[in-house]
């Protein structure tokens, strides 16, 4: 359910972790999880192959590749379960959620159901805040595209701070993006959904990196 995982406990040996790459000829994502203590020291790092692009990803890609304007012959299910007709728009595919926003960008949750292609929302999303079971969402940031001769990738990053007073185990991670419907309103759609199992003690921070890759 969680895919291939490489996990190490100490910052001193981080440079010895073999990075996971998407197989040649494929487009995919690598998921990296980093836990830091109050001093900023890394206490745990995991790298795994993301297994769960969901169907809204391909539907949105099809819409832009075919450049269907205003109306299109299928609808896409947004995160609240409502089907929406969309349009091509310059604001589509946005994942740049600001701090405290839990509507889109990288999201975390505690749901334990294995992801499926039909997933359209997080099962049990963790709320923003400092209350019981809550974590503080930072703004989403982006690394510029890079390539090394065989692999090209860029990274989407978000930090989640746990100041709830107790340890929280994150069991699902997703990536949601913004599209525009036919009336010009912003709508939000899940495109990635992965099962994980990583504890974030009180006072510590979880950094999530989704590294989208293409390999030849």
Structure tokens of 104?
């889109």
Number of H helices, E strands in the chain: 1, 14
CA 183 to the chain's CA centroid: 27
State the pLDDT at residue 1: 40
State the pLDDT at residue 68: 64
pLDDT in tens, 41-98: 999 999 999 988 999 999 998 888 877 655 556 789 999 999 998 888 888 999 999 9
What residues contact 115, with CB distance under 8 A and at least 6 apart? Answer: 1, 51, 52, 54, 172, 193, 194, 195
pLDDT in tens, 6-20: 444 333 333 334 578
pLDDT in tens, 170-180: 999 999 999 99
Q: What is the mean pLDDT of the chain?
A: 88
Task: Assign 3-class secondary structure to the chain.
Answer: CCCCEEEECCHHHHHHCCCCCCCCCCEEEEEEEEEECCCCCEEEEEEEECCCECHHHHHHHHHHHHCCCCCCCCCEECCCCCEECEECCCCCCECCCCCCCCCCEEEEECCCCCCCCCCCCCCCECCECCCCCCEEECCCEECCCEECCCEEEEEEEEEEECCCCCCEEEEEEEEEEEEEECCCCEEEEEEEEEEEEEEECCCCEEEEEEEEEEEC
Alpha carbon distance 147, 108 (integer Å): 28
Quote the percentage of the chain above a pLDDT of 70: 89
Alpha carbon distance 158, 141 (integer Å): 6
State the pLDDT at residue 73: 63
Sorted by where each begins, the domain ranges of the chain are 5-215
């Amino acid at each position: 359910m969680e895919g291939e995982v490489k996990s190490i406990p100490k910052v001193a040996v981080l440079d010895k972790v073999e990075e996971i790459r998407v197989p040649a000829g494929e487009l995919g994502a690598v998921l990296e999880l980093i836990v830091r203590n109050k001093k900023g020291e890394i206490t745990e790092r995991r790298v795994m192959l993301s297994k769960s692009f969901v169907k809204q990803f391909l539907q949105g890609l099809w819409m832009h590749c075919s450049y269907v304007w205003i109306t299109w012959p299928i609808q896409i299910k947004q995160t609240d379960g409502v089907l929406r007709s969309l349009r091509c728009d310059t604001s589509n595919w946005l994942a740049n959620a600001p701090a405290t926003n839990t509507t889109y960008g990288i999201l975390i949750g505690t749901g334990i159901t294995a992801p499926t292609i039909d997933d359209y929302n997080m099962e049990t999303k963790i709320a923003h805040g400092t209350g019981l079971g809550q974590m503080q969402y930072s703004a989403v940031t982006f690394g510029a595209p890079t390539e090394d001769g065989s692999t090209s990738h860029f990274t989407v990053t978000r930090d989640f701070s746990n100041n709830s007073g107790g340890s929280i185990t994150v069991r699902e991670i997703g990536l949601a993006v913004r599209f525009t419907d036919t009336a010009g309103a912003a709508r939000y759609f899940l495109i990635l959904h992965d099962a994980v199992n990583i504890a974030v003690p009180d006072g510590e921070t979880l950094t999530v990196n989704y590294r989208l890759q293409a390999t030849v």
